[in-house]
Amino acid sequence: MGKKVFVGMSGGVDSSVSALLLKEQGYDVTGVYMKNWSKDLPGMRCPWAEDLADAKRVAVKLGIPFEVWDFEDAYREKVVEYMLDEFKKGNTPNPDVMCNQEIKFKLFFEKAMERGADYIATGHYARVKDGQLLRAVDENKDQTYFLYRISNESLKHTLFPIGDMLKPDVKKLAEEKGLHNAYKKESMGVCFVGEVGMKDFLKEYIDIKPGEIREVETEKVLGYHEGAIFYTIGQRHGLYLSGISGEVNDGLPYYVVDKNLDKNIVYVSKNLNDSHIWTDKLELRDVFIRTDTVHSRHFATNGERVSEEPRNDGRDEACREWSVSVRLRHRAPLIPAKFNGESLFFENEIKRPASGQSAVLYDDEVCLGGGIIA
């Protein structure tokens, strides 16, 4: 028997093909469906039962054992509670990053190891090389943005079987091998409820609190909202401001540019050059630097900068800054920036991402880690 691998199978084509490849490579493979969420949400039926059936169907086709591991309680505690707390603070968290850090590459990893696994595997588009996390070959699908905070301990024992494949080839292989889900629509777990869906999700847990929508330039009240925490900077849907009376209909949409949580006011603007939107600096918190990278000499294992010399604050000293590439959203282009261990500095102004989202740092194809935008 080959080395023992537990592969997380979501019922989608990526994890199915991952299991298939591992099996073909001679591993002793066990498929596992991680049951993280099963509740239906307003306007969204949770497809967990169908996903589970799809995963199991593939496992049976491959002739591998299949199990369901229930992480619902942990997911609620570690991911959903975190998400709600962050929203209550006015941030826009990324549940996917948290799910990978706390569930898939922690609880799932630990349980697999207890069960005698040599490796865990997932259907993520990412690669591991010499203990480093690398971007996927398929630039379009690279998922390291969601993986930058997973522990090095788990990464050492992780296989990403499709990390060097292109998505179309994954689908093609699935079809060739007769997997029924080759062309299944990508999963829409709670991690993907999206901007408008997220509001409905939050309303299940957070009471609505009516407040004003004001134009930032004039302080004029344009309308009313159900709670400032439901809105994200940059958001332009769900404001219901089109066609309001007295409005000059110039066809331009309003964007959320700021919010005052204490006063429960959402500020909007039509001005795409509004100073709230643009910035050349981002402060990060909870910085996580991957230790096994070539850049580890710059940083201590806890993410703090190693102070080889007495530390000097400020960005004026070039030697305290490192050139990195930054991704501010999944699939967003890489932007060059300087990083001093706490803040990112951009040459050209960028559209400010919502606080709570992640900034992920790269050196070429190596994912260096990242932090949460403060």
Partner 1 sequence: MTIWIQASLLTLQANTKHLNVTLNGGVFIFAKLCYNIIMIYLDHAAATPVSSKVLKTMEPYFTDQFFNPSAAYLPAKKVAAEYEAAKGEIAHAIGAKATDLVITAGATEANNLAFSAVGDGKVLYLETEHDSVRKVAEQYDGKSIRVLSNGLIDMDDLKAKISDDVVLISVALANNEIGVIQPLSEIAGVIRDVKFDRLKRGVKTPLYLHSDASQALNLLDISVARLGVDLLTLNAAKVYGPKGVGALYVSHDVKLSPVSYGGGQEKGLRAGTENVPGVIGFAKAISEAKEHLNGNRKKYANLRKILLSEIKDYELVNKKHALDNFVVLCFDGIDAERLIYLLEDKGVYVSTGAACAASKGLKSHVLTALGLSDSQITGSLRLTLGETNDEEQIHEAAKLINEAVASEKARING
Least distance in angstroms from the C-beta of 48 to partner 1 = 8
Minimum Å distance from CB 354 to partner 1? 36
Q: Least distance in Å: CB of 24 to partner 1?
A: 17
Binding part of the chain for partner 1, among 50-58, 92-100, 131-139, 194-202 by CB under 8 A, reads 50-58
Question: What does each C-alpha distance from 339 to 94, 113, 336, 360 come to in angstroms?
Answer: 22, 36, 10, 11
Q: How far is the CB of 36 from partner 1 (least distance, A)?
A: 14
Nearer to partner 1, 63 or 310 (CB): 63
Residue 184 interacting with partner 1 (CB under 8 A): no
Of 276, 361, 283, 357, whose CA–CA distance to 327 is shortest? 361
Q: Pseudo-torsion of CA 8, 12, 16, 17, nearest 10°?
A: -120
- Helix (H) / strand (E) element for 156: namely helix 152-156
In the complex with partner 1, the residue whose CB is nearer, 66 or 339, is: 66
Which DSSP state fits 44? B
Q: Which of 63, 210, 251, 310 binds partner 1 (CB under 8 A)?
A: 63
Among 25, 39, 42, 60, binds partner 1 (CB under 8 A): 60
Q: Which is nearer to partner 1, 46 or 206 (CB)?
A: 46
> Is there binding between residue 53 and partner 1 (CB under 8 A)?
yes
Pick from 24, 42, 43, 49 the residue near partner 1 by CB under 8 A: 49
**Shortest distance, position 73 Cβ to partner 1, whole Å:** 17
Q: Based on the residue annotation, tell me whether 367 is a catalytic residue of this protein.
A: no
Residue 26 as a binder of partner 1 (CB under 8 A): the answer is no
Confirm if 150 and 39 have CB atoms less than 8 A apart.
Answer: no
Identify which of residues 66 and 254 has a Cβ nearer to partner 1 in the complex.
Answer: 66
Of 118 and 226, which has the nearer Cβ to partner 1? 118
Which residues contact residue 38 at a Cβ distance below 8 angstroms, ignoring those fewer than 6 apart? 46, 48, 49, 72
**272 in contact with partner 1 (CB under 8 A):** no
Q: What percentage of the chain's residues is helix, strand, coil (to nearest 5)? A: 30, 25, 45
Examine residue 57 and tell whether it contacts partner 1 (CB under 8 A).
Answer: yes
40 binds partner 1 (CB under 8 A): no
Q: What is the rounded CA–CA span in Å between residue 344 and residue 338?
A: 6
Q: Is 56 in the site for partner 1 (CB under 8 A)?
A: yes
Distance of CA 175 to the CA centre of its chain: 28
Tokens, residue 278: 């643009």
Q: Which is nearer to partner 1, 2 or 131 (CB)?
A: 2
CB 64 within 8 A of CB 121: no
Catalytic status, residue 191: yes
Distance CA 24, CA 19 (A): 9
Cβ atoms 191, 10 nearer than 8 A: no
Q: Least separation, in Å, of the C-beta of 156 and partner 1?
A: 28
- 239 contacts 223 by C-beta, under 8 angstroms: yes
Any residues with CB less than 8 A from the CB of 302 and at least 6 apart, and which? none
CA separation (Å) from 115 to 69, 112, 198, 261, 343?
A: 12, 5, 36, 47, 41
Using CB under 8 A, count the residues that bind partner 1.
Answer: 12
Question: Does 244 engage in binding with partner 1 (CB under 8 A)?
Answer: no
Query: Annotated catalytic sites, by residue?
Result: 99, 191
Q: Which residues bind partner 1 (CB under 8 A)?
A: 49-50, 52-53, 56-57, 60-61, 63, 65-66, 68
